[in-house]
Amino acid sequence: MTDAAPRPAHPPSRVREGLPFPLGATWDGLGVNFALFSAHATRVELCLFDADGRETERIALPEYTDEVWHGYLPDARPGQVYGYRVHGPYEPDAGHRFNPNKLLLDPYAKQIVGELTWHDALFGYVLGHKDADLSFDKRDSAPYMPKSRVIDPVFTWGHDRHPRIGWDRTVIYETHVRGYTMRHPRVPPRLRGCFSGLMVQEVVDYIRSLGVTAVELMPIHAFVDDKHLLDLGLRNYWGYNSLGYFAPHPRYMATPTVAEFKEMVAHFHEAELEVLLDVVYNHTAEGNQLGPTLSLRGIDNASYYRLADDRRHYINDTGTGNTLNLSHSRVLQLVTDSLRYWATEMRVDGFRFDLATILGREPHGFDQGGGFLDACRQDPVLSQLKLIAEPWDLGPGGYQVGGFPPGWAEWNDRFRDTARAFWRGDEGSLADFATRLTGSADLFDRRGRRPFASINFVTAHDGFTLNDLVSYEHKHNEANGEDNQDGSDHNLSWNHGVEGPTENRTIDALRRQQMRNLLATLLLAQGTPMLLAGDEFARTQLGNNNAYCQDNEITWIDWQGAVQAADLTDFVRRLITLRQHYPLLRRGRFFKGLYDEEFEIRDVSWLTPEGELMDESHWHDPQRHALGMLLDGRAQPTGLRRPGAETTLLLLANAGDEPVDFVLPALPGHQSWKQLITTGKIRRDLPRSLAGGESLPLAPHALTLMRSDHRTVRPRAGMDSPEI
């Protein structure tokens, strides 16, 4: 094979030079500019296809500028279907895997048509050959490949605007485009599972009625169904197997144009709901050295992927076979161009980054000042969005919760595990529970980061649903076809005595109460809460905690179940209303527990059931399962020295098996205590208000939130603050 400099071929007369920027296929109203980066190719052919998928023409891109191959077709129009064949050395030991027999998707394709049909011709080498991937396959893969399509991006947004919900008011609702509407009775069958189904007014109205402020969609970038799953009659339902970073997944479109996604965003924005996308820039669907050649591998394998010292093999920090090389400037450009496209052209409001530690990796390891993280921080578009990291990967030093730089929020699995352990009654979980309730300052209180940097969650798409968390002791993933070997065994779940559904009313009532406890912990804690769609009405996946391949009723939301659990949904609505009404529950600064001499109070105080301040012996008592958290509204809410005028709140939690009598604190200048919400059975025999010093009986496995208003006070002499 040759290392000679590339020699662009002479084009047909109608092909013009075009421009090396922007990358991708760009319609300008007169024709289409095609531009493709490849540093090591020797020739790039643009392949045109008709509506039936037949290849009609191959055109060599005539120019090569700054490692970008480009050309302009004045007779091309939106709707034109195309792909690339890229020539160059096939030298796997040197990291090069060019094979012009393989049709390749444009990494910048704005629309992808057709689905991948698994066939041996998709592989750059001969499957089953004694030399494995060192062999060379000459079969044409075009009949089995999806294709890229030129689009016209024009769309009338009207008066659409970004809701721009402040982080302190943000409540995230994680869901799946397909699973959310496949069984919805008000969504027409032809729209179910698509963006059009999500924009049905009854769907939007329901989401808005919960009080959430942002809808986080699981991956909607074009992705591939793994062959081994299709062989089992399954699919890659979650979509963490990206193939195109600019194109919506074809299966989620009920119409022929990408305007469908834009319409969905406009409907959510009209309802004051932000749209966040779960994105997968850490790896692609091409797998390891034995995977197919679909796009980046055949365009410039040595540039796009992180390769091992033995350049035939890939660094696999993702567990999927390959890792995208964001240390390369053009790969970094690909990802940031994709993000800006979805932010500006598609108008999404933020992103959740799968295995985000990968994105901060440089050759020496994870770096807060890595190229991608720095690029996002300084970018005038991206820096204004909500950026959320899943702060771990499978590589060395991959667990980075709390390790991302300012401007980022992070999934906090410590919150998830602690909340589960505390309400399960695990010994020694009390102190950590208090830390998680107050925003996980141990992880995030540095470099001016705020409590909202902690994305709190109890459940997510990966793992048990809330219902299953309190109904199953063990995972039940038999339907996945892996003999129940997949999925995590560390669930911190509790079935309360019976595995799975039960007709025992006592157990069922306790399970419902525990679900309310976990929901209340999530929505009343400092930080940014994320609610898994369907948890508000006790959705079940029948104990499957790794339903990534279940595109069926295991994962599709059961809206009939929503009707039957309307009381739990109303409880969630009330929790979110309380969160939004009381700023004390969503502070912009971390609690310090410091004494405020002006009011003779602390911003947060921790109380024993006897009404005493907790000390070290209390915190380290493994048998202690109850505590009170007193948040005084008169403490300084910001760094400014002006008194606050907020209500004082008291959260009481009892994770033990026995009832506890809590002595309510008697505070100077305060009136009586009133109960705002409780997870236990409402006691009709209790007075509507209780004075400080009186006792409140709290049932086993229960939580309550109380309010006490303070009387008007005057600032001390010499202060210029008005009366409050």
**Phi and psi at residue 229, to the nearest 5°:** -75, -45
**What is the DSSP-derived secondary structure letter of residue 659?**
-
Q: 């996945």: which residue's tokens?
A: 480
Tell me the catalytic residues: 354, 390
For residue 122, what are its two tokens? Answer: 């998709």
Distance CA 166, CA 80 (A): 42
Distance CA 509, CA 519 (A): 15
- β-strand partners of 45: 60, 85
Distance CA 653, CA 124 (A): 60
Report the chain's terminal Cα–Cα distance, integer Å: 81
Neighbour count for residue 9 (Cβ, 10 Å):
14
Amino acid at 322: N
Chain mean position to CA 57: 41
In three-state secondary structure terms, 205 is helix
Q: 């200048």: which residue's tokens?
A: 669
Do 702 and 678 touch, CB atoms closer than 8 A?
Answer: yes
**Phi and psi at residue 520, to the nearest 5°:** -65, -40
Distance CA 38, CA 49 (A): 22
Distance CA 458, CA 684 (A): 31
Distance CA 541, CA 487 (A): 13
Q: Which residues contact 357 (CB under 8 A, 6 or more apart)?
A: 317, 366, 389, 391, 392, 393, 395, 398, 399, 400
Distance CA 84, CA 71 (A): 13
Nearest alpha carbon to residue 314 among 399, 239, 395, 392 = 395
Nearest alpha carbon to residue 30 among 79, 76, 81, 80 = 76
Do 510 and 195 touch, CB atoms closer than 8 A?
Answer: no
Distance CA 516, CA 461 (A): 19
- β-strand partners of 58: 47
Q: 């509204």: which residue's tokens?
A: 633
What angle do the packed helices 566-581 and 505-524 form, to 10 degrees? 20
In three-state secondary structure terms, 56 is strand
What's the longest Cα–Cα distance across the chain? Answer: 92
Distance CA 604, CA 665 (A): 13
